[in-house]
Structure 1
Amino acid sequence: MTEYPVRLFASDAEIRRVGAGLLARTLPKSEWTHEAHLAACAWLLLERPDIVPETDLPDIIRNYNVAVGGVNDDSQGYHHTLTLLYIGGVRNFLGEERGAGLARIVNALLLSQIGDRNWPLTLYSRDRLFSVEARHGWLGPDRAEP
C-alpha cells in the first residue's frame, strides 16, 4: 500500500478557501485532495449551518466533479458510501474536539484515525467498499462498525 504524507493546512483561511471553492465549483481539481475533502466537510459542519452535509454534500460533490471536467459513474467520481462514512466520522470527531482555530481542529482530524486514507478499509472489505452498489448508495460496513 502506498503511503502518502498528510498535507496539513497552514491557516483557517486556507480551509475556508477550499470549502468556498468547492461550493462555487472554482477549486482547482488538483487541490481536491483527500485532505481537502475532510477539511471541506469539517468547515461545512462547523461554519455552514445552512448546509446539511448528509443531504446536500452528495450533489455538491457531483456538481463540482462535473464542473472540473470529471464524471460520476460506476467507477469514478462521487462515491456515496465513502461520503456518508466520512461525514459521520468527521461529525463524531468534531463532537469530541473543542477549542479555537479551524486549522488546528482540521489538522488534528487529518492526523487522527478518521483522517487516515485507509480508515474505511478498517470497516469494509475492499470488494464491498469499491463496489458499484457502494458508489451509488449507502452500504453498511462488513468488517466493523464505525
Structure 2
Amino acid sequence: MSEPDRPTAPRLFPDDAAIVRIGEGLLAHTLPRADWTHEAHLAATTWLLRNRPDIDVDRDVATIISTYNESVGGVNGDMGGYHDTITRAFVAGIRAHLARRDSSEPTAACVNALLESPAGQRDWPLRFYSRELLFSVAARRGFVPPDLAPFPVPC
C-alpha cells in the first residue's frame, strides 16, 4: 500500500475521563470544535449508549449533534454538517460492538477496541451503502436504508 493510501491510525483515548469530557462537552456545547473528530463522534456515541440511559440516542442524536455543530459555527445543510444516515450506520455498528463487550469494561477500553475494529473505520458505512446513495442529500437529511447489505445485528 502506498503512503497516501495508508489509513491513519485512530487516536485512542487514555482513560474514561477523556471520553466523559467529549460526551459532556458535546451535550453542553462546550467541546472545542477541533476536538470533534471521527474518534470523538464514536466515543461520544458509545458513552451515550453506555452511560446515559436518560437519553434516547435513536430519537435525540440528530438534535444533539446538529445543535452542537451550530454552537461551534457549523452549518447543517445539504453539503455539510450533520449526516443522518452515516450517524445511524455508526450507531448500529456501535450497538453491535457493545453487544460483544463486557458491560463492566472501562469505557476507554471499549471505545479503543471499537476504533481499532472495522466498525470504527471512517469508511465502515460503505460496507452497507453505495457511495452514490450514502453521499446523497437524501441520506444526509434523513435515514435511508442500506442498498448493499444489512447492518450487523447486536448479538
Shorter-chain TM-score tier = over 0.9
Find the counterpart in structure 1 of residue 115 from structure 2. Answer: 110
Equivalent of 1:54 in 40, 50, 58? 58
Local SS of the residue matching 1:56 = helix
Structure 2: runs of 5 or more not aligned: none
Local SS of the residue matching 1:114 = helix
Local SS of the residue matching 1:124 = coil
Q: TM-score, normalised by structure 1?
A: 0.96
Say if 2:120 is the partner of 1:132.
no
Shift of 1:78: 0.5
Call closer, same or farther: CA 1:2–1:70 in 2, change over 3 Å: farther
Local SS of the residue matching 1:144 = coil
Question: Quick check: 30-39 or 135-144, which moved more?
Answer: 135-144
Find the counterpart in structure 1 of residue 34 from structure 2. Answer: 30
Q: One-letter code of the match for 1:74?
A: D
Say if 2:66 is the partner of 1:71.
no
Local SS of the residue matching 1:93 = helix
Q: One-letter code of the match for 2:136?
A: S
Equivalent of 2:87 in 83, 86, 90? 83
Cα-to-partner distance string for 1:30-89 (whole Å, 9 max, x where unaligned): 110000000000000110000011111100100000000000000100001011111111
Matches of 1:105 and 1:24, distance apart in 2: 23
Matches of 1:52 and 1:85, distance apart in 2: 16
Local SS of the residue matching 2:113 = helix
Q: One-letter code of the match for 1:20?
A: E
Find the counterpart in structure 2 of residue 122 from structure 1. Answer: 127
- Equivalenced residue count is 146
Structure 1: runs of 5 or more not aligned: none
- Percent identity for Structure 1 against Structure 2: 51
Which runs of at least 4 in structure 1 moved beyond 6 Å after TM superposition?
A: none
Shift of 1:144: 1.3
Q: One-letter code of the match for 1:6?
A: P
